[in-house]
Amino acid sequence: MATTAVTDSSFQSDVLESDKPVLVDFWADWCGPCKMIGPALEEISDELSEKVTIAKMDIMENPDTPGKLGVQGIPYLALYKNGEIVADMRGAAPKSQLKGWLEQQL
- What pLDDT was estimated at residue 18? 96
CA distances from 58 to 1, 25, 31, 54 (A): 19, 8, 10, 13
Catalytic residue among 24, 31, 52, 57: 31
- What pLDDT was estimated at residue 2? 86
Q: What's the rounded Cα separation, in Å, for the pair 36 and 7?
A: 21
Q: Is 55 a catalytic residue?
A: no
pLDDT in tens, 4-45: 999 999 999 999 999 999 999 999 999 999 999 999 999 999
- What pLDDT was estimated at residue 50? 94
Domain residues of the chain, as ranges?
Answer: 4-99
* CATH class of this structure's domain 4-99: alpha beta
Q: Is 73 a catalytic residue?
A: no
pLDDT in tens, 55-89: 999 999 999 999 999 999 999 999 999 999 999 99
Catalytic residue among 24, 34, 41, 78: 34
Query: What's the predicted TM-score (pTM) here?
Result: 0.94
Phi and psi angles of residue 27, each rounded to the nearest 5 degrees, phi first:
-145, 175
Q: What's the rounded Cα separation, in Å, for the pair 39 and 82?
A: 27
- What pLDDT was estimated at residue 1? 63
